Amino acid sequence: MLFRSTGLGKTELKAKVNGMVRQGDYLIMQVDTLEPVRWKIRAAMSLPDMWMVIKAMMRPSNLKILFSRKWAKEAEHPGEF
């Protein structure tokens, strides 16, 4: 997983999802950054947020990624995002 932020300029953070836990009406996604810094990031997603993610994943162009055979290989960098 890659992260970019307007607050970090051109810095790109490499990270991995470490877990997801339910806390009240939120699903908390726990992310550990690996490079260039080691941070623990948490994102609290409400039901409308989760629904947006599910709808986006169900688009045919995005489903192609889920059903591809690229699960074991390193993803290509997306370029500027």
Distance CA 59, CA 77 (A): 21
Report which of 5, 35, 32, 1 is spatially closest to residue 18, judged by C-alpha positions.
32
Tens of pLDDT, residues 10-55: 899 999 999 999 999 999 999 999 999 999 999 999 999 999 999 9
Domain ranges of the chain: 2-66
pLDDT of residue 75: 81
**What are the E-state strand segments in 1-81?**
2-4, 12-23, 26-35, 40-45
